[in-house]
Structure 1
Amino acid sequence: MRIKKSVSKHSISYSIIENVRDINGTSTTRVVEALGNEQEIRDKHPGIEPEEWARQYAKKLTNEKKSQQKLSIIKFNTEKLIESDEQRTFNVGYLFLQSLYYQLGLSKITQDIQSKYKFEYDLNEVLSKLIYMRILHPNSKRSSFEQAKQLLEGIHGEPHHMYRALDILKKESDAIQSAVYRNSQKIVTRHEKILYYDCTNFYFEMEQEGGLKQCGVSKEHHPNPIVQMGLFMDGSGLPLAFSTFPRNENEQTSLNPLEKKILKDFELSEIVVCTDAGLSSKNNRLYNTLGSRGFITTQSIKKLKKHLKAWALDPSGWRTTTSSQPIHLGEIEDMPNNTETYYKERWIKENDLEQRLLVTFSPKYKSYQETIRKRQIECALKKVDKPSTLKKKCANDPLRFIKVSHATTDGDIAEKGQITLDGSVIEKEAQYDGFYGICTNLTSDPSELIRVNHQRWEIEESFRIMKTELKSCPVYVRNDDRIEAHFLTCFLSLLIYRLLEQKLDHKFSCQKTIKTLKEMNVMKTSGDGYIPLYEHTHLTDQLHEIFGFRTDFEINTIKHMKNILKLSKKAK
């Protein structure tokens, strides 16, 4: 601290000032205390020159501050207005995402890309902010730029840099995916021998189709053009690679090209690809019998050939994973709360494909399916009196249980259609309750195959997170290259969130984790530091302990926050 001497026509006044530097390195001064003019100082402290006394007092305050660094007293003026257009609150929740971003080596990756193409804007700045905002405040690119101003470090550059960066990111998408995969192995253990593949679609906020944007049946029933995404996930639940393709292309043909890219770029060879029945064509299964590869795919019992269906539904010849003794399903009907899974298996060969058919039966799953169908029947009955609503929209629509007959029991033409429940449809569906089929070329233990196949729910969860929490759709960009780059940022955002989820040991829901990060705001005080404005919870404790820094002191000094920024940008 030092004194400031202000000389006017009639007097000389003194004040104590000190240098302060904000989080971005900008230096300024602030008044610590006004001491008054020379006459006022002489009246209060006779026998000493005002300037000398002011210097001694400044030295005293400096020494007191050094000895009491842990105590900060902030003074506010009840009659002073806050500064105009001055930002006072900042988000620090993104710092945990930033730590994972740098651990994945994305900063180094973007630097290498920047040196390759020689453009002026900062690609690392653009990509990092697109990812943080996709998790914290998902919206359009322009909106993301504005929201990024709320981060502790803000954002530099211009909004149009985000759009220009998308063109470059598309060109380097494959290289980024493979590099991030290699770097992620330094952070967590990845189980890449089991790979899960699935597809979903995303709709656009526009009506004109073209390129990747093609009209088709959307899972959300939107009439807008849509694009499909194929996603590979490893056995640890982390996204591995993705591709995009038009809606009017068969999704079964999307698996092999992306798998070949993974085998080459990711240097994987011994893998087992797990898919649902819709993606498992004969060609895809044959492809994954080559080399050291394998496949596990779901199999609809309803679509089996007649003799195989009869074998699958036969109540005899079942076993459990803990016993080799044959069991008849009729013996377990009266066993309440039975959570056991029963199975039977056989090898089948058709044309050039030899595979193992594994069928399971679960009383718990049977009860679940019966409950669902009962609710659907109740829903269907409510619509019986409303003929105008009796238009089935999908295979699982409750209206499949309704039968409309246009003839009386005597064979005459009825004036109105006779609407009744179709018992034959209900009975036909009920025979499959509790049964589940799997096809594979592996000779693994049945319990292991059941466990691996059951984990497919995680890739569906990843798609749900992308659509619901990360709001990957509607897609606002139009150009095909920028569409693919948009999904690259969504893919990287999903990967970073999933890594965070693993580090938190899956203890918190996706909604709670993101909400907490979004609400971790601090208030800037002039020259002193940043005061937390968020609730101190078990989740915030976990975040601070895992990442090795804390933002939840009563006041975080500027020096402390600078150290945190350095820690959050430390590569693995």
Structure 2
Amino acid sequence: MRQKVVLNLGRIEDLQEGSLDRLVASLVKFSKRKWIQAEAEKLMVHSAREWGLDLIFRHLWEQLGLHSILKSHFSKAHVSFHLAEAVYAMVLNRISDPLSKRGVIQWIDAVYHPSFLELLPNHFYRSLDLLSENKDSIELDLFERTKNLFDLEVDMVFWDTTSTYFEGKGPDGLASYGYSKDHRPDRLQVMIGVVMTRAGIPIAHEVFPGNQSEVDTFRQIIADMRKRFKLTRVIFVGDRGMVSKELLDALDRDHIEYIVGMRMRKAIDVGEVLKTGGRYKTVKGNLRVKEVWYDADRYIVCHNPIQAEHDMHAREEMVQKLEKQIKQNGFKSLIGNSGYRRYVVIKKDSVVGINQKTLKEEARFDGKYVLRTNCQLDTDQVAIAYKDLWRVERAFREIKSSLDLRPVYHWRDSRVRGHIMVCFLALVLESALQRRLKEKEITVEYTYLLRDLQQLRAVELTMDDRKYLCRTELAGSAHQAFKGLGIRPPLQVSDLTSSSPNNSDYYLQPLF
């Protein structure tokens, strides 16, 4: 072996005093891997938490004045700020990842919202009790704020009910067995009704015992709405499930205007109305309407030609399947099928045939539905108003699926009502966002929009002894939410070192 001196760097004793470290650091830049490792040592990432949904819905929360409304109604409590924040945390969780109240306490650690760090378990349960106590006054204040913010015309409100069941016993007097729209007659349940404007904004909700009929809830909410919200003229729009002669007669006596759908095959007056002639008037698209007066009551017959053709083909296909089944298996195969039995007739010598009279009667209903009203609106306006009832029905799908209203695990009356109030407030925020998107003519799949917003995260890190907040890139259609609200996303990097941790907006301090 031979040795060769390439370079004399000096005496080892001198280099060990610091010169060697500086020499190694200067050589790092010639090695990419070593340089990255050296720079990474300067960088410390502390957390990466959800941020997108909070940025959007906190803006709407403040616009609707909900924080100040809740604080004013919770003012008797010494921790009114924390209780109001606890309600917002539960509402945001309903929209993001519905969990139990214990689950929310753990979930808030994954969300970037500074004031959440101060919340304790008792804040959530106490706020539920206060929501229940102050429900009516909170809704009234929210109604006034919403009416002005969205320039709402509250001349027509929509009403529908649903049921949700309990896991366990439930509160006495509220939890009862009744007709379950969840198809769980084995569970104790509670009835819930929501009142919405024609623009699709919820303004009130009511909670009833699980065995209360829809007719009774409708009469109760009418009296409450007119008194509590001081509405002079309101037209109530309801589905055919709540219609009864006693209810409509009571509304007529009280001079309350209404638009309700009629049960097509069970109401005698509907059959007579459909027999009455008259010319249809085209409203828009495939909707045609005509006015019919019967027994001093006003009816609107609505007809959709495309739906009528679909109904006719469906019936013809059903008849073909029925004839085939009779030919192969005989009449006995239809004994357990009440839907098919009504279309067959037994002739002499036990010969089975198709009941042509029933088919002819069914053809009268193709593509049609009948409304009854005592208001003075034009026929086309009545029909359009009833079509808008889908907003309420869609709202119930939202509150029971994406907001995960059911099942309910609380057993105290106030906690159950408070839980439902949280779901109602979440529905208000989601409706407000969808209204803003519609106003800006932004068409986006709402479910995907929420998913994209959830991917926006806040990353806290330290570099050179300074603390920074970075946001991830906007994914998918997330930017549409900011556009719809007319706000800018936060800067990609913000300096937190000089910001006060008590300021809920400190993460918006700009760096450059």
Q: Is residue 145 of structure 1 aligned with residue 134 of structure 2?
A: no
The residue type equivalent to 2:301 in the other structure is V
- Preserved contact between residue 259 and residue 374 of structure 2 (Cα < 8 Å): yes
Partner of 2:10: none
Deviation at 1:321, TM superposition (A): 4.5
Q: Which one of the candidate residues 142, 157, 174 is aligned to 2:136?
A: 174
Amino acid at match of 2:84: N
Aligned to 1:479: 412
Which residue in 1 is equivalent to 2:392?
A: 459
- 1:519 corresponds to: 455
Assess if the C-alpha contact under 8 Å between 1:348 and 1:357 holds in 2. Answer: no
Counterparts of 1:87 and 1:162 in 2: how far apart (Å)? Answer: 25
Do the aligned partners of residues 309 and 515 (structure 1) sit closer, same or farther apart at CA in structure 2, a change above 3 Å counting? same
Q: Are 1:565 and 2:505 an aligned pair?
A: yes
Out of 231, 241, 255, which is 1:278 matched to?
A: 241
The structure 1 residue matched to 2:435, chosen from 486, 502, 515, is 502
Normalization by structure 1: what TM-score?
Answer: 0.71
Name the SS for the 1:343 alignment partner: strand
**Counterpart check, 1:343 vs 2:290:** yes
Q: Deviations over 1:262-283 (max 9, x none)?
A: 2222221111111122223345
| Deviations 1:160-210, CA, capped at 9 Å, x for gaps | 331222112101111111111111123212121011111111122236684
Aligned residue type for 1:345 = V
Aligned match of 1:243: 206
Task: Tell me which residue corresponds to 1:205.
Answer: 167
Q: d(CA) in 2 for partners of 1:378 and 1:91?
A: 57
Structure 2 unaligned residues grouped into runs of 5+:
1-14, 24-34
- Distance in 2 of aligned mates of 1:404 and 1:442: 38
Counterpart residue type for residue 155 of structure 2: K
Distance 1:305 1:313, change over 3 A: same
Q: CA deviation at 1:151?
A: 1.4
Contact 1:92–1:152 at 8 Å: present in 2 too?
no
**Offset from partner CA, 1:72-101 (integer Å, 9 cap, x none):** xx97658869979x5333323212101111
C-alpha distance in 1, partners of 2:394/2:93? 20
Distance 1:560 1:474, change over 3 A: farther
Any idea what SS the aligned residue of 2:131 has? helix
Inter-CA distance 421–521: structure 2 relative to 1 (3 Å threshold): farther
CA RMSD between the two structures: 4.0
Summarize deviations over 1:495-548 as a string: whole Å, max 9, x none. Answer: 110000111116223312322232222322224533333544444144156242
Residue 190 of structure 2 corresponds to residue 191 of structure 1? no
Provide the C-alpha distance between the structure 2 equivalents of 1:561 and 1:456, rounded to a whole number of angstroms. Answer: 49
Match of 2:70 in 1: 110
3-state SS in 2 of match to 1:513: helix
AA matched with 2:109: K
In structure 1, the residue corresponding to 2:265 is in which secondary structure? coil
Cα pair 1:99 1:567 within 8 Å, conserved: no
| CA distance in structure 2 between the partners assigned to 1:558 and 1:93 by the alignment | 21
Find the aligned partners of 2:485 and 2:263 in 1 and give their Cα distance: 44
- Check if 1:233 corresponds to 2:196: yes
User: Percent identity of the aligned residues?
Assistant: 20
- The match for 1:369 is 311
In structure 1, what is the Cα distance between the partners aligned to 2:318 and 2:39?
64
- For residues 560 and 541 of structure 1, the distance between their equivalents in structure 2, rounded to whole angstroms, comes to 32
Structure 2 distance, partners of 1:523, 1:567, is 11
1:164 correspondence with 2:97: no
TM-score by length of structure 2 reads: 0.79
1:386 & 1:96 partners in 2: Cα distance? 62
1:318 to 279, 304, 318: 279
Q: Per-residue CA shift, 1:200-239, capped at 9, x if unaligned?
A: 1112223668422222332231232221111111111111
How far has the Cα of 1:461 moved from its partner? 0.5
| CA separation of 1:205 and 1:343: change in aligned 2, threshold 3 A | same
- SS of 1:179's partner is helix
Q: Does the alignment pair 1:127 with 2:65?
A: no
Q: Counting helix residues as a fraction of each chain, which structure ranks higher?
A: 2
Which stretches in structure 1 are left out of the alignment for 5+ residues? 1-35, 45-73, 324-337, 350-354, 393-397, 412-417
Separation (CA, whole Å) in 2 of partners of 1:389 and 1:121:
67
* Kept in 2: contact 1:95–1:565 (CA 8 A): no
**1:297 pairs with one of 260, 273, 276:** 260
CA–CA distance in 2 between the matches of 1:117 and 1:410? 82
Q: What is the rounded CA distance, in whole Å, between the counterparts of 2:179 and 2:416 in structure 1?
A: 19
Residue 428 and residue 559 in structure 1: after superposition, are their counterparts in 2 closer, same or farther (change >3 A)? farther
Instruction: Classify 1:233/1:407 alpha carbon distance in 2 versus 1 (closer, same or farther; 3 Å).
Output: closer
Conserved? CA contact 2:49–2:457, under 8 Å: yes
Identify the residue that residue 101 of structure 1 maps to in structure 2: 61
Secondary structure of residue in 2 paired with 1:233: strand
Do the aligned partners of 1:319 and 1:343 also contact (CA within 8 Å) in 2?
Answer: yes
Give 3-state SS (helix, strand or coil) of 1:129's partner. Answer: helix
The aligned counterpart of 2:215 is 252
SS, match of residue 215 in structure 1 = coil
CA distance, structure 1, for counterparts of residue 356 and residue 61 of structure 2: 57
**1:408-557 superposed matches below 5 A:** 410=349, 425-505=358-438, 507-526=443-462, 527=466, 529-544=468-483, 546-551=485-490, 553-557=491-495
Query: Residue 358 of structure 1: which of 275, 295, 300 is its match?
Result: 300
**Structure 2 counterpart of 1:370, which letter?**
M
Cα separation, 2, equivalents of 1:247 and 1:100: 33
Which one has a larger percent strand, Structure 1 or Structure 2? 1
For 1:502 and 1:121, how far apart are their aligned partners in 2? Answer: 28
Q: More deviation in 515-524 or 123-132? A: 515-524
Aligned residue for 2:190, secondary structure, equals strand
How many residues matched?
470
Structure 1 residues 192 and 386: alpha-carbon distance in aligned structure 2, compared to 1, 3 A threshold: farther
- Give the Cα separation in 1 of the matches to 2:77 and 2:303: 57
Q: Tell me, in whole angstroms, the C-alpha distance in 2 between the residues paired with 1:221 and 1:465.
A: 18
Letter in 2 for 1:483: V
CA distance in 1, matches of 2:361, 2:21: 104
User: Is the contact between residue 89 and residue 150 of structure 1 (CA under 8 Å) also seen in structure 2?
Assistant: yes
Which SS does the other structure have where 1:87 is aligned?
A: strand
Paired residue type of 1:127 = V
The verdict on how the C-alpha distance between 1:134 and 1:321 changes in structure 2, with shifts beyond 3 A counting, is: same
Q: Is the 8 A contact 1:194 1:235 kept in 2?
A: yes
Following TM superposition, by how much is the alpha carbon of 1:311 offset from its aligned partner in structure 2, in angstroms?
4.5
Contact 2:273–2:294 (CA under 8 A) maintained in structure 1: no
- Amino acid of the structure 2 residue aligned with 1:508: V
Residue correspondence of structure 1 range 47-126 to structure 2 within 5 A: 86-118=46-78, 122-126=82-86
